[in-house]
Chain A
């Protein structure tokens, strides 16, 4: 029971942040999903492509992302994602929350460490 809860909490934490990270990568400019994965991995965030695609599709259907087909040299055209206006608003609200939470968490965990 307890292990399942830990798993669950960890995945919950990861999931919320993953969306935030993806959005911040796309905010910088037009991106291709596998490039997003590569960048996430580079910064030390372990993620599977099979997880990214559903998230992108959901964000796109929510209106936060847009995509266009870009001709590729090797095969059929690829799907590139950009951020929409409402996506930017959504990103800003997420960013505010993130800053709030991260400062709070930082503060709490630091205080605890100092106590020890």
Chain B
């Protein structure tokens, strides 16, 4: 049974079959589009709307309007294409079009922002989508490469200002549209399929395959190649490209759009063909569509499952490390922008997605005002995140660093790395450690102590152990970046074979944090060992894990809570036993040194106790003497 709906049209009430109403709306859109090209188009369209309501009332009155009634109406009024042949305006337009052809304009009609891309496409007689894609990719590339100004956006604004707007006639015979007649999410796949004249399910499968591959690789073990990494990057690519295409490809609205999509010449015959064909695509592939729809919703649900905890995680992280905002964002303007982008750019889309799914499940129709509010707020989010990114990029667009080398005497076989930080904050390993999230260790009166220290271990070509400490920073330009890097404080203490390093870099709190970072690289020659205390590993490894190239022996996982032992050996495989022996030796040596240290401490304590005891005795002796003297008196 067809659904029958009640509508009010031009002050008259009708009951109409839903499918008939769709055809009617489509027809009305076609008319509107056709007459919008003319100066008095609005008036003509309004007159026609009135007339159509009159015809429908005369024909059907209070009875239900069916498809055949709409067809009769269309026959009376005529299809836009039929007017065209009766119209001299046709020629006027084509001459206008040839005169415009060789000049560059902004397209007033087909636009997303200001019609720049569409105008350029028109000039070269290509599909605007191509120009838009090139522009977006170029802009993203530009953002990623951290140039101080964005050539893409700059060029766009320049064209916006220079070019005069004009209503341009489309001059391509084939154009990509999203196809609303056969859609699951946005009609991107079916539009592409129509464009290339292939089956829709092929395109859908192409978009889905990376995601399916991703699931497969998660549940199977391919150890020889990193399938996971490859499939992960592909499925991110497929989701991102779908969303991007959804955004930039326009929705086919009128009959002529569908014909442009297929690259058919536009005349009366093809228009008739298209109308019948549209009905066909609706009924076609119903089972297959259902299958893809199920998968599409499943993926959305999955993304939600991933996104919601992530968003909650971000919110928790930001709340608990509120002082990060102080250090990195620094100015109030940046903080406000960050807050806006956090709520409107991250939180809002998730809430929107949840609402969308719930409404979809409950079978609500899309709500225009809700969507408008959402788009409006989200746009503010976009603007603020772009402004924030621009401000951060401006602040941190150049990188510079300064290097310092510590060479150890060649007679040292084992280097012991410990921490200068006496704080007990990081001694306990707990399941959820707020301090892991918080990269700011402490605030002193002049400095922010920031946990931004990485430690790397490498094989040395030298015969002795040496250490390189590289302080790096970003800044507005090279000079500033270098100054920030040299001003950052990282004081180490070297006491024979014990190197004490701070777990933080100290940065002045009079300026924002310019991403100053310290890279400690320990070069270990063959046969020598570096042992890093687990306490220090805990302090630095939480946020910024070290990259461990070279050979390390005692563990494969940085999260293992042990002293970190690194020995260099040649790359030819040696006997496992040999290695183990060396390891044991190293550990014993460490134990010995520790025991010796303990012994030393005990001895010192004993001495101290003795000294104290002696002092006390002396004191009591003296007191006795004084008393004796008193008694004598």
Interface residues of A, Cβ cutoff 8 Å to B:
7-8, 11-12, 14-15, 18, 33-34, 48-51, 53-54, 56-58, 61, 74-76, 78-79
Contacts and interface: CB of A to CB of B under 8 A. Distances in A.
Given A75-B12, A75-B54, A50 B38 contact: no
Nearest to A7: B85
A49 B77 contact: yes
B54, B79, B80, most chain A CB atoms within 10 A: B54
A7 to B, nearest CB: 6
Interface in B109-160: none
Contact of A79 (B40, B47, B83, B86): B47
Contacts of B12: 75
A76 B11 CA distance: 7
A71 B11 CA distance: 14
Interface string B1-43: 0000000001110000000000000000001000100101001
A75 B53 contact: yes
Chain B interface bracket (under 10, 10 to 19, 20 to 34, 35 or more): 20 to 34
Nearest to A61: B40
A34 B76 CA distance: 10
A48 B78 contact: yes
Contact of A53 (B51, B53, B54, B85): B51
B44 interface: yes
Contact of A54 (B38, B50, B53): B38
Which 4 pairs across A and B sit closest by C-beta, in order of nearness? Answer: A48-B78, A50-B78, A50-B77, A49-B77
Interface in B475-510: none
Contacts, number: 71
B82 A48 contact: yes
B382 to A, nearest CB: 42
Interface in B89-127: none
B40 A57 contact: yes
Contact of B47 (A18, A57, A75): A57
B557 interface: no
B40 A48 contact: no
Contacts of B422: none
A12 B88 contact: yes
A78 B57 CA distance: 14
Contact of B31 (A50, A56, A58, A78): A50
A73 B531 CA distance: 100
Contacts of A48: 76-78, 82-83
A50 B48 contact: yes
B578 interface: no
Contact of A57 (B43, B79, B85, B87): B43
25 contacts: A14-B86, A15-B87, A33-B47, A48-B82, A48-B83, A49-B48, A50-B48, A50-B77, A50-B78, A50-B83, A51-B83, A53-B44, A54-B44, A56-B47, A57-B40, A57-B43, A57-B47, A61-B40, A74-B54, A75-B12, A76-B10, A76-B11, A76-B50, A79-B47, A79-B50
